[in-house]
Amino acid sequence: MRDALRRLLFSVDKEFHPPLSARRTPVDLTLTPLPTASADPPGEPWSYWRGVAQQSGVVLAEGDEPLGFLAFRPAEHLPTLGRTVAAHVTTIVVRHDRRGHRPAGRIYGHLLRLLATTPGASVATRTWTANTPHLHVLARLRFAEVHRILDARGPGQDTIYFERLAADPPREGP
């Protein structure tokens, strides 16, 4: 399953802004190129994958094939928000042929249900202005925009932080 998750992540590398292959870690948004002295094949998100593989996660699968997954950092203090959240979702990926069938909502919904019994537990994530599919999922699940960094990912590409309490029932079902 681990190799299948890696292949899925690699298949969406360039859909992220900046691309995953241009980042050092899942929380890095640096717009400067990575050093070229790496032993990793150029243009592939190996460094990013190693960071994701060390995080907690939720996987939606049919048999041994992942349809999508999210990676999160539990009990993480987010300086941008000035508080600790129960789960900081750093990455969510859905297989191309499953998009539009709401797997992202199901994946987020599972994480929210896992944390729902913890009083005050919240889930936070971030995305960018032009990532409309993710923005729609977050709106459908009633995440609230809590912070925006203008032009953080380039001109017109804001980084937007979202958060919601896990105990609020999500609209998506399993």
Output the domain CATH number for residue 90: 3.40.630.30
Name the least confident of 9-13, 16-20, 130-134: 16-20
The total number of structural domains that make up the chain: 1
What pLDDT does 173 receive?
47
Which DSSP state fits 140? H
Residue 11 lies in a domain: yes
pLDDT bracket for residue 172 (50, 70, 90):
low
pLDDT at 28: 61
Residue 120 located in a structural domain? yes
- Contact in structure between 147 and 81 (CB atoms under 8 Å): yes
Q: Which pLDDT value is given to residue 98?
A: 87
160 lies in a domain? yes
| Amino acid residing at 80 | T
Report the number of secondary-structure helices (H) and strands (E) in the chain. 4, 6
Is residue 173 in a domain?
no
Domain span including residue 16:
2-165
Looking at the domain assignment, is residue 109 inside a domain?
yes
Q: Per residue in 17-30, pLDDT tens?
A: 888 888 877 776 55
- 170 within a domain of the structure (yes/no): no
- Give the pLDDT band (50/70/90) at residue 171: low
Structural domain includes residue 71:
yes
Does any domain span residue 172?
no
**Residue pLDDT, tens place only, 67-115:** 999 999 999 999 999 999 999 999 999 998 988 888 999 999 999 999 9
Identity of the amino acid at 64: D
Q: Is 82 left (phi over 0), alpha (psi -120 to 50) or beta?
A: left
Handedness of CA 8, 95, 108, 26 (dihedral sign): positive
